[in-house]
């Protein structure tokens, strides 16, 4: 019994230590090596305002209003250098909260715009989403393991048909250590 208690306490201690030791580096604070977008210019969202025409400016991550993200307009490609020691990349593929929802669609979905999310590590595909419209909440969580010595991560949005109003967002994008 006493041994079990010590074992449990040790586990709790290790878990707490891991939570405390985890370090998140926001991609919003990192300048990409390359940023190609299909319309307008690449920019980061730092105040919850997507500056997206036809919307109230907000966007959601996990169903809640979010503050930070990378605003890309498909067809787009961002390349970032991977900081030393990071082990994961996480983000949520999401879109502006359009108000009202437009009926103008490009034949691929019932959203205003259509796009997907692809991730490459050192030029090799490691993740490919379905079109955003395929997800019930119009959000797709993205979690990528980063191998030792990986140098670059590439974030791609394919325009799927045409790029009309393809206002893609990578919400709350982070590298995570260790």
Residues that bind Ca ion (CB under 5 A): 114, 159-160, 166
For Ca ion, the closer CB: 77 or 166 = 166
Q: Which residue is nearest to Ca ion (CB)?
A: 114
**Among the listed residues 112, 165, 168, 136, the one whose alpha carbon sits nearest the alpha carbon of residue 63:** 136
Q: Determine phi and psi for 19, rounding to 5 degrees.
A: -65, -45
Closest contact distance (angstroms) between CB of 160 and Ca ion is 5
For Ca ion, the closer CB: 45 or 159 = 159
Closest contact distance (angstroms) between CB of 161 and Ca ion is 5
| Residue 74 to residue 162: CA distance in whole angstroms | 9
For Ca ion, the closer CB: 82 or 133 = 133
Closest contact distance (angstroms) between CB of 75 and Ca ion is 9
* Helix, strand, coil share of the chain (percent; to 5): 15, 40, 45
């Amino acid at each position: 019994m006493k041994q079990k208690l010590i074992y449990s306490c040790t586990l709790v201690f290790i878990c707490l230590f891991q939570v405390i030791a985890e370090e998140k580096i926001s991609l919003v604070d990192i300048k990409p090596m390359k940023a190609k977008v299909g319309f307008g210019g690449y920019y980061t969202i730092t105040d919850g305002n997507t500056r997206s025409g036809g919307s109230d400016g907000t966007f959601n991550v996990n169903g809640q209003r979010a503050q930070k993200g990378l605003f890309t307009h498909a067809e787009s490609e961002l390349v970032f250098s991977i900081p030393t020691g990071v082990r994961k990349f996480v983000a949520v593929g999401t879109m502006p909260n359009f108000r009202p929802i437009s009926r103008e669609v490009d034949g691929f979905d019932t959203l205003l715009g259509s796009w997907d999310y692809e991730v490459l590590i050192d030029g090799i595909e490691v993740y490919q989403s379905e079109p955003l419209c395929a997800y019930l909440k119009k959000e797709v969580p993205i979690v990528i393991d980063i191998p030792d010595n990986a140098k670059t991560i590439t974030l791609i949005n394919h325009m799927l048909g045409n790029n009309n109003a393809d206002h893609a967002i990578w919400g709350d994008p982070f590298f995570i250590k260790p």
